[in-house]
Amino acid sequence: MCGAKAGGPDLAGVDVASETIIQGSVTRDGEPISGYVRLLDGGGEFTAEVPTSATGQFRFFAAPGTWTLRALVPGATVDRTVVAQQGAAADVAIAV
Amino acid sequence: MSRSDVLVDADWVQSHIDDPKVVIVEVDEDTSAYEKNHIRNAVRIDWKSDLQDPVRRDFVDQAGFEALLSAKGIGNDDTVVLYGGNNNWFASYAYWYFKLYGHDSVKLLDGGRKKWELDSRDLVVEVPERAATTYKAKEQDTSIRAYRDDAVAAINTLNLVDVRSPDEFSGKLLAPAHLPQEQSQRPGHIPSARNIPWSKNANDDGTFKSDEELTKLYQDENVDLAKDTIAYCRIGERSALTWFVLHELLDQPNVKNYDGSWTEYGSLVGVPIELGANA
């Protein structure tokens, strides 16, 4: 698989209006990288974790508020803060 | 039991990959992960199609478990090493099944698939062939399984440990945040339950914390380990991990996993429910 898609996975078939979506991609030097993304709540507590897809993408169904995304890949850990709201997917590009 | 009897590290697995008496088994929430790649010589157990009754909400019965393990080429005297994604949630769930049906030697790979991947260890696509066995399961050991009536009776009496994330416990979310949130049951938790998320048992790489750290975790949360304990989550897989910590790593005898968990309790008519964060 070459070339990372910007942003998170395609939202076709997802009920965006009723969900609070946080999604995005993890790349190294512009290429998708396989690893894991954790979602931590406002208190820093683990809420969920997913492996990245073959195109480096990930998605969470959260609740409105401020969250931290933590990308775990071989040799690196990167945190990003994100504000999520219902009805509009928050897209986060994480370069490691 | 002690930690070394029930938990092995990647080096141990690496050195036993070709041991015919050791069967490595991958159990994932994402059951297609095995098809992408897996540890060499590992077989797959599908937590949904292999371990659940196809019609009723319950486990495969004793005969079903025997048929499954026989087909997978697992013998009664084999050492089974379980690993999987999601920090071993479903591998822990399978571990609990193996113990429920009385398998003697079963271990978890510390850190599971994630740690193996983050360490850039080899994964392959070849599926091993194992000759079928004639596996004999024991009757379910219900001393490690709680039912809904046990959960209701435990309110304000026994330790109830809710291992979901704080937002699921308080009622803000109905499922872990990698799943869609539309669910039929009511949000909240069982009254008097302590919220000790499963993740507090583990490091970021999925390995378990030390026995000292784990003991302190439950002491600091006022879990009186002299009393019986019931752990639950949403469908019983994350609480199987906490059951593993309390029953297997910390050697606490009176710990049960309530596999009905919130998807059952939160759908019961008339039972008490509490909302809000840990008191």
pLDDT in tens, B165-175: 998 999 988 88
Which residues, other chains included, contact B4 with Cβ-Cβ below 8 Å and sequence gap of 6+?
Answer: none
pLDDT computed for residue B202 by the predictor: 96
Tell whether A12 is covered by a domain. Answer: no
Is pLDDT above 70 for B147?
Answer: yes
pLDDT computed for residue A2 by the predictor: 43
**Into how many domains does chain A fold?**
1
Tell whether A84 is covered by a domain. Answer: yes
Q: Residue-wise over A10-38: b if at least 16 C-beta within 10 A, else e?
A: eeeebeeeebbbbbbbbbbeeebbbbbbb
pLDDT in tens, B202-249: 999 999 999 999 999 999 999 999 999 999 999 999 999 999 999 999
Residues in chain B: 279
Q: Residue-wise over B207-223: b if at least 16 C-beta within 10 A, else e?
A: bbbeeeebbebbeeeeb
End-to-end CA distance of chain B: 34
Tell whether A4 is covered by a domain. Answer: no
pLDDT computed for residue A1 by the predictor: 38
Please name the amino acid found at residue B11. Answer: D
Tell whether A49 is covered by a domain. Answer: yes
Q: How far does the CA of residue B87 sit from the closest CA of chain A (Å)?
A: 9
Q: Do A62 and B119 touch (CB under 8 A)?
A: no
> Do A71 and A96 touch, CB atoms closer than 8 A?
yes
* B30, B36, B169, B178, best to mutate vs chain A, most A CBs in 10 Å: B178
- Apex B79 CA angle, B29 and B146, nearest 5: 55
Coil, strand, or helix at residue B231?
A: strand
Q: Which domains does chain B have, with CATH numbers?
A: 3-140 (3.40.250.10), 143-265 (3.40.250.10)
For A33, the domain range is 20-88
Choose, from B23, B100, B233, B241, the residue flagged as catalytic.
B233
Q: Do B181 and A35 touch (CB under 8 A)?
A: no
Tell whether A1 is covered by a domain. Answer: no
Q: Do A47 and B177 touch (CB under 8 A)?
A: yes
Is pLDDT above 80 for B262?
Answer: yes
Single out the residue of B242, B202, B203, B249 nearest to residue B223, CA to CA: B242
Which residues, other chains included, contact B170 with Cβ-Cβ below 8 Å and sequence gap of 6+?
Answer: B188, B189, B275, B276, B277
Share of chain B above pLDDT 70, in %: 99
The pLDDT-based confidence of B183 (bands split at 50, 70, 90) is confident
pLDDT in tens, B69-111: 999 999 999 999 999 988 999 999 999 999 999 999 999 999 9
Verify whether residue B256 is a known catalytic residue: no
Share of chain B above pLDDT 90, in %: 88
Domain harbouring A43, CATH code: 2.60.40.10
CA dist., res. B163 & res. B199, Å (int): 8
Report CA torsion sign: B149, B152, B155, B159. positive
Tell whether A14 is covered by a domain. Answer: no
Nearest to A48 among B118, B176, B180 (CB): B176
Q: Would you call A28 an interface residue with chain B, using a CB distance cutoff of 8 Å?
A: no
Tell whether A65 is covered by a domain. Answer: yes
Q: Which residues pair with A73 in a beta bridge?
A: A76
pLDDT computed for residue A8 by the predictor: 82
Helix, strand, coil shares of chain A, percent, nearest 5, are 0, 55, 45
Which residues, other chains included, contact A51 with Cβ-Cβ below 8 Å and sequence gap of 6+?
Answer: A34, A35, A36, A58, B30, B33, B85, B114
pLDDT (mean) for B248-264: 96
Coil, strand, or helix at residue A93?
A: strand
Cβ-based neighbour number of residue B149 at 10 Å: 8
What mean pLDDT, rounded, does chain B reach?
94
Residues in B touching A41 (Cβ below 8 Å): 165-167
Which residues, other chains included, contact B11 with Cβ-Cβ below 8 Å and sequence gap of 6+?
Answer: none
pLDDT (mean) for B248-271: 96
Which residues, other chains included, contact B254 with Cβ-Cβ below 8 Å and sequence gap of 6+?
Answer: B227, B228, B229
pLDDT computed for residue A6 by the predictor: 57
What is the radius of gyration, based on Cα positions, of chain B? 18
Coil, strand, or helix at residue B220?
A: helix
Tell whether A31 is covered by a domain. Answer: yes
pLDDT in tens, B128-146: 999 999 999 999 999 999 9
ipTM passes above 0.85: no
Please list the rounded mean pLDDT of every run of 10 residues in chain A (96 residues): 60 87 95 93 90 92 94 94 94 94
pLDDT (mean) for B260-265: 96
Report DSSP letters for chain A, one per residue. Answer: --SPPSSS---TT--TTTSEEEEEEEEETTEE---EEEEE-TTS-EEEEEE--TTSEEEEEE-SEEEEEEEEETTEEEEEEEEEBTTB-EEEEEE-
Position with higher pLDDT, B195 vs A18:
B195
